[in-house]
Structure 1
Amino acid sequence: MNVVIDSGNTYSKIGWFEGAQLIRYTTRLTFDELLQAVRADLPENIFFSSVSYSVAAFEEALGVQCKIFNLSPETPLPIKKDYETPQTLGADRVAASVGANFLYPNEDLVVIDMGTCITYDLVDKDATFQGGLISPGVKMRFNAMHSFTKRLPLVEPESDPPLIGKSTRAAMQSGVMNGVLAEMQGIIEMYRHKSPDLRVLLCGGDAAFFESSLKPPIFAVPELVLIGLNRILTYNVSLQ
């Protein structure tokens, strides 16, 4: 069994895989809870990806002998990267792109990952990561309106707000949620001008707010990053 870990700024996510099959996963774990979960069911291999902790810090905190891999700009990948600054490329963007190519090989793909930021990344049918764009995420937009003004409240996202808000709070909901939806639809359309047969994959914590509102065909794959990390893990194990 393999374990893959996606450790963010606040919470971690962990997935258990048998080969390419995701058996189970757990989200919103603190670092201590993550360590406990790994110790409770020790795997053959661990793949650790984090924006907060080094693999050395994780290995020391775990305190158990396991074969641990991690994702860095030098990690061998089953896809190519056509990117001018690969050392700045976020691990989530890499993992989601690898997962997309694994699930849908030989296709042009755009991966929309809706986290703190919204990323739109193109992986072509030749398994090459071409890059993409980064946009402020849903909560970042709400936080910005609240932080950079004196009177606008801090608003939480809601699904399907009316286009015409009848209160300040409702107008903010409409501006952010309908604005993000319009952005996504427009960018997908621009990508499809470049590749008419493009397949669109949606993942990330805020994807559920928009999945039913986007024009089909849109494929929601909530655990795409975990699938990608596991694919990178099995690829690196095969190279040894």
Structure 2
Amino acid sequence: MNLIVDIGNTNTKVAHCDNGEVITFDCYDDFAEEIFNSYTAQCPVIVSSTKILPKEFLQSRFEKILVFDHKTPIPIKNLYDTPETLGMDRLAAAVGAWEQAPESEILIFDFGTAITIDRVSKRGEYLGGAIAPGMGMRFAALHHFTDRLPLVGAGELAGQGDSGVFTSKVVVDNNTKACPLAHLLPPPKNTTAAILHGVIKGIEHEINGYIEEISPEKIFFTGGDAKYFVNSAKKPIFADYHLVIKGLDRILNYNA
């Protein structure tokens, strides 16, 4: 049993994995040392973070700990020009996708605070990718940088309906629910609807633009906002909310 800790820009995710399967999963609003009081200190631990880590605390708390950074050996080749600046969550997602679809050209969309689009070659090479503002960031920017546009958020999104059902072209893991939005919206006739339509449709066009340009063999969606876009791609996708967690688990086992 491995303990996986993924400290992101917004949330801290903690999971137990066994033989590549996620057994338990918890998500916290932020990082705090108290989070780890309820987790056993004996099992192997891997920690990935977008923030400065309290290494001394973690090393004192856990007996077998691997802090994942750009020097950590991984089962794919990293061709990023500046590996020290690469977000480790992006690299972990690439490992998780490659583990599920080896010898395939892979495109990974991670819908988090930022939206990242990353590529893995069929030779198992991480090729890099793109970083774009996430959905919440786009809503916030429209409000912050204008005088009159309202802040649109989760409440308005929820009001657009949740089908709870994936289309047949989507392969789903860990029971994530689909929540299609923009294609259900009528032509926007008020400001809130216009913002929703502009942001969601813009992201949909980005998704399909990258897919059309790159023509990958396998497409993975992950991240907290993935549920809003799983029906947006014009090609079959794999939706896996735990892709980064599974990648970190694979990296921990690889270094065992």
TM-score by length of 2: 0.84
RMSD (Å) for aligned C-alpha atoms: 1.7
* 8 Å Cα contact 2:41/2:62 also seen in 1: no
Distance 2:219 2:57 in 1: 34
Distance 1:191 1:52 in 2: 31
Aligned length: 229
* 8 Å Cα contact 2:76/2:95 also seen in 1: yes
Change beyond 3 A, Cα 1:65–1:122: closer
The alignment partner of 1:16 has SS state of strand
Q: Please tell me whether residue 131 in structure 1 is matched to residue 128 in structure 2.
A: yes
Which residue matches 1:75? 72
Q: Please tell me whether residue 7 in structure 1 is matched to residue 7 in structure 2.
A: yes
Which residue matches 1:140? 137
Structure 1: which 5+ residue stretches go unaligned? Answer: none
Distance 1:8 1:57 in 2: 19
Q: Please tell me whether residue 19 in structure 1 is matched to residue 40 in structure 2.
A: no
The alignment partner of 1:97 has SS state of helix
Q: Please tell me whether residue 217 in structure 1 is matched to residue 236 in structure 2.
A: yes
Give the counterpart of 2:201 among 175, 178, 199.
178
Q: How does 1:67-216 map onto structure 2 within 5 Å?
A: 67-157=64-154, 158=157, 159-161=180-182, 162=185, 164-192=187-215, 195=216, 198-216=217-235
Distance 1:67 1:25 in 2: 20
Which residue matches 2:58? 59
The alignment partner of 1:219 has SS state of strand
The superposition leaves residues 32-65 of structure 1 with CA deviations (integer Å, 9 ceiling, x where unpaired) of 4521232xx34420001112242514416xx534
The superposition leaves residues 7-48 of structure 1 with CA deviations (integer Å, 9 ceiling, x where unpaired) of 12342101101232221211125424521232xx34420001
AA in 1 matched with 2:128: G
AA in 1 matched with 2:235: P
Deviates more, 1:210-219 or 1:173-182: 210-219
Change beyond 3 A, Cα 1:57–1:181: farther
Distance 1:181 1:210 in 2: 7
Deviates more, 1:72-81 or 1:15-24: 15-24
Q: Please tell me whether residue 35 in structure 1 is matched to residue 36 in structure 2.
A: yes
The alignment partner of 2:255 has SS state of helix
Identity %: 39
* 8 Å Cα contact 1:118/1:136 also seen in 2: yes
The alignment partner of 2:238 has SS state of strand
Distance 2:15 2:244 in 1: 10
Give the counterpart of 1:230 among 224, 249, 252.
249
* Deviation for aligned residue 1:75: 0.7
* 8 Å Cα contact 2:42/2:62 also seen in 1: no
Change beyond 3 A, Cα 1:220–1:65: closer
Distance 1:32 1:141 in 2: 31
The alignment partner of 1:96 has SS state of helix
Distance 1:59 1:145 in 2: 39
Structure 2: which 5+ residue stretches go unaligned? Answer: 158-179
Distance 1:55 1:48 in 2: 11
TM-score by length of 1: 0.90
